[in-house]
Chains A and B, each alone.
Chain A
């Protein structure tokens, strides 16, 4: 079946640094990818929807300047957390939609900002 690869699976960084998370669809082209955020013992909250070749659409309350999303190709979307702070520590999950409307999730990235 379709696979979505997300890297890294975990990252620890110092406050003020930027962190990039990659999401790749390995055997299909994903015109649309989604980024979710999950705090401990909480639900997954949609952060943004990214379409290949266009600007991402951010959900209300999500800072677009802080969470930079790039979807430069049909198989790769990246989320960059800029100037990360401890409150950005969270579990980030990407998902990719196939042409037949199926949705596949990456394995997630645990970000810890010290």
Chain B
């Protein structure tokens, strides 16, 4: 069985603060893929990153960074110097070795205030 847990339901920060969104996953597959998506109020899902289980290197993309720790089954997402436009719901998702369907966490609603 596969499961994604995003324990933080809602986070509120003031602009320019750094914020980390947690994601913990469970899977029996040795090969799997992890994703982060952003869902703004308009509803569409915006792809942020995909990471496979063999690549534990952390990644940085502008103000976004991801910390993949296989030992703790975590794939956390940090936004540095947050901006109001970062306000959205962020979903962590897991895909197993076979098939393309994603298992989503419950999402973390991030509110960045001026």
Contact = CB atoms under 8 A, between A and B. Distances in A.
Interface in A31-62: 32, 34, 41-46, 49
Interface residues of B, number: 18
B91 A44 contact: yes
Number of contact residues on A: which range applies?
20 to 34
Interface string B66-105: 0000000000000000000000000100010001111111
B44 to A, nearest CB: 4
B100 A42 contact: no
B93 to A, nearest CB: 8
Interface stretch (A66-74, A75-83, A105-113): A105-113
B31 to A, nearest CB: 12
A23 interface: no
B45 interface: yes
Residue of A41, A44, A49, A93 with most chain B CB atoms under a 10 A cut-off: A44
Interface of B: 37, 42-45, 47, 91, 95, 99-107, 109
